[in-house]
Chain A
Amino acid sequence: MKIDHRNLQTRIPVTDDFISIDNSKCTQCDRCLVICVMNLWKKRDDTVYIVDDYTSHCLECGACAQVCESDAITFRFPAGGTGIVIEQG
Chain B
Amino acid sequence: MKEYDIVIVGAGPGGSTAAKEAAERGLKTIFFERGRRPGEKNSSGTGLGPRLWREFDFMNEINSEDCPSIREGRAARNYMVDSEGKVTGYIMTTPTSSVEYEPAKSWITLNCYRSDFDPWLAKYAVDAGAELKTSTLVTGLLKEDGKVVGVIDEKGEKYRGFVIGADGAVSMVAQQSGLRQRWGQKQVTLTLQYDFECSASKIDDVMGDEALAVWWSATFPAAYQVFFNSSFHIGFGNWMTWWDKNPVHYLNKVVNLDYFQRLIRVLDAKPREFQAHLLPWLGMPENTHTDNVILIGDAGGFPCPLEAEGIYPAMVTGRAAIETATEAIAAGDTSKEFLSLYDDKWMATSVGEDFKSGPELQSIWMALPFSPRKSMSWFVPLFMEILGGIIDWSEAHPVRIRQVARTIRKYLPQLVPFVIKEVIPLLTSVLGEDRMDMLTDPEKLLTEMPEIEEALAMAFMQDEEED
Contacts and interface: CB of A to CB of B under 8 A. Distances in A.
A67 to B, nearest CB: 6
B113 A88 contact: yes
23 contacts: A1-B256, A1-B261, A6-B274, A8-B272, A8-B273, A12-B36, A34-B243, A35-B240, A37-B192, A37-B274, A59-B274, A60-B41, A61-B277, A63-B190, A65-B182, A80-B34, A80-B137, A84-B41, A85-B36, A86-B40, A86-B42, A87-B273, A88-B273
Contacts of B134: 80-81
A60 B35 CA distance: 12
Interface in A31-89: 34-37, 39, 59-63, 65-67, 69, 71, 75-81, 83-89
Nearest to B182: A66
A85 B190 CA distance: 19
Contact of B255 (A3, A39, A89): A3
Contacts of A10: 273
Interface residues of B, number: 55
A61 B188 CA distance: 12
Contacts of B252: 3
Contact of B276 (A34, A59, A78): A59
B264 interface: yes
Given A61-B276, A76-B139, A88 B35 contact: no
Interface in B21-46: 34-36, 39-44, 46
A85 B33 CA distance: 13
Contacts of B43: 86, 89
A5 B248 CA distance: 8
A9 interface: yes
The 6 closest A-B pairs by CB, nearest first: A81-B135, A89-B43, A62-B170, A5-B274, A88-B195, A8-B274
A66 B188 contact: yes
Contact of B154 (A5, A79, A83, A87): A79
B335 interface: no
A67 B348 CA distance: 33
A37 B276 contact: yes
- Of listed B40, B153, B183, residue having the most chain A CB within 10 A: B40
Name A's interface SS: loop
Given A1-B255, A35-B190, A66-B188, A77 B183 contact: no
Given A1-B264, A66-B170, A81-B35, 19 more contacts: A1-B255, A3-B194, A34-B245, A35-B246, A36-B246, A66-B240, A66-B278, A76-B139, A80-B34, A80-B135, A81-B36, A84-B41, A86-B40, A86-B41, A87-B115, A88-B69, A88-B231, A88-B273, A89-B43
B114 interface: yes
A86 to B, nearest CB: 5
B44 A89 contact: yes
B221 to A, nearest CB: 14
B136 interface: yes
A13 to B, nearest CB: 13
B240 A75 contact: no
Contacts of A37: 190, 192, 246-248, 274, 276
Interface string B250-279: 001001100001001000000111111110
A55 B271 CA distance: 23
B172 interface: yes
B6 interface: no
A39 B272 contact: no
A81 B172 CA distance: 17
Interface in B169-207: 169-170, 172, 181-183, 185, 188, 190, 192, 194-195, 197
